[in-house]
Structure 1
Amino acid sequence: MLRSVFRRHAAGVAVITAGHQGRPFGFTATSLTSVSAEPALVSFGISERSSCWPAVARAEYVGVHLLGEHQSELAATFARSGADRFAPPTAWREGPEGVPVLEGVVAWLVCRPVARIPAGDHRIVVAEVTAGDPAGEGRPLLYHQGRFGALRP
């Protein structure tokens, strides 16, 4: 029932990235939340079964990328199990603190995890914002009824 109800809840789409053992990792998240302004904190959920969990569990810093409506393919790539998420056409660079930063996003943050709280089969990661860039262009990508979409004008 929970999944059926939340399919009806529109959510913004983010990609969370981390580096681990010299490799970039990342996944699509619709659970991103602003937690606090002072200090600046965000949170997101990640399944403990996710291939990215070991990287996020050990990461000193993570990247949080807000996707634009033009990036539904990027969101799908980072949601796809077994995909080489950082291979072309994904454009990225190493950002502050060595965090993989995706190009062309609406905005991005670099955050330091301060808590990884068990929550059922997931962990809720609370992270303090240390850097970022809100200057990207575009309107936000949304997730609703199992599909990526855009805001109506």
Structure 2
Amino acid sequence: MTTSDIDIGLSTRFREAFRCYPTGVALIAAAGPDGPAGLTASSVSSVSVAPPALSFSVMGSPSARVVTDASAFVVHLLGPAHAAVARDFARPGAPRFTPEQGWDTLPTGEPLLRGAQAALRCRPLHLLPVGTSTVVVAEVVDISLGPDGDRLIHHDRTFSTVTAPKGH
């Protein structure tokens, strides 16, 4: 067995392991020099409450480069009402930033998806290259809370809805 065989096997098992791990769904959007750019992410995580900070990882797509080059971006935490938008932003060439998807622009210039469960405007603190990805750590500078409701999760390459507990 060669080193590349081990790496391919390990990479395959790594992907399979995380397909079994359900995560929340976010859409990260930034204003770029050629217009807005965005991507669907399932790697968003809280890092600190004081000061508020979060992290996520992106691969080297054109949209990811706009996000990592931006001085600010918005992390939208999505609910089931935005499953179609999440799918669109996960596929190259799919429609993005259309009026039907519900986009506005913040006074600071970043795209804002109306009706997201939360929209967190962020500024990057650290960009850490790891293999073919970049881990972004960002400070949260503003938060807009939207409607609460059921949860949108990503699990085994599909978006699913989880019913929120009663009284929440």
Distance in 1 between the 2:160 and 2:146 partners? 21
Amino acid at match of 1:12: G
Q: Given the two structures, how large is their TM-score scaled by the length of structure 2? A: 0.85
Identity rate, percent: 38
**Alignment length, in residue pairs?**
152
* RCO comparison, higher one (Cα < 8 Å, 6+): 1
Distance in 2 between the 1:71 and 1:135 partners? 12
Q: Given the two structures, how large is their TM-score scaled by the length of structure 1? A: 0.93
Structure with more helix by fraction: 2
For the 8 Å contact 1:66–1:140, the answer to whether it is kept is no
Where in structure 2 are the equivalents of 1:1-153 lying within 5 Å? 1-48=13-60, 50-152=61-163
C-alpha RMSD of the superposition: 1.3
Q: Give the CA deviation at 1:56.
A: 1.5
Query: Gaps (5+ residues) in structure 2?
Result: 1-12
- Spell out, residue by residue over 1:2-58, the C-alpha distance to the aligned partner (whole angstroms, 9 max, x if none): 11111110000000000111501000000000001111110111002x121221122
Amino acid at match of 1:72: A
Amino acid at match of 1:23: G
For the 8 Å contact 1:14–1:28, the answer to whether it is kept is yes
- Spell out, residue by residue over 1:79-116, the C-alpha distance to the aligned partner (whole angstroms, 9 max, x if none): 01022311242111111521101011111110000111
Q: Could you say what secondary structure the match of 1:131 adopts?
A: strand
Moved over 4 A (4+): none
Distance in 2 between the 1:96 and 1:65 partners? 17
Moved more, 50-59 or 74-83: 50-59
For the 8 Å contact 2:116–2:146, the answer to whether it is kept is no
For the 8 Å contact 1:16–1:63, the answer to whether it is kept is yes
Alpha-carbon spacing, 1:108–1:124, altered in 2? closer, same or farther (3 Å): same
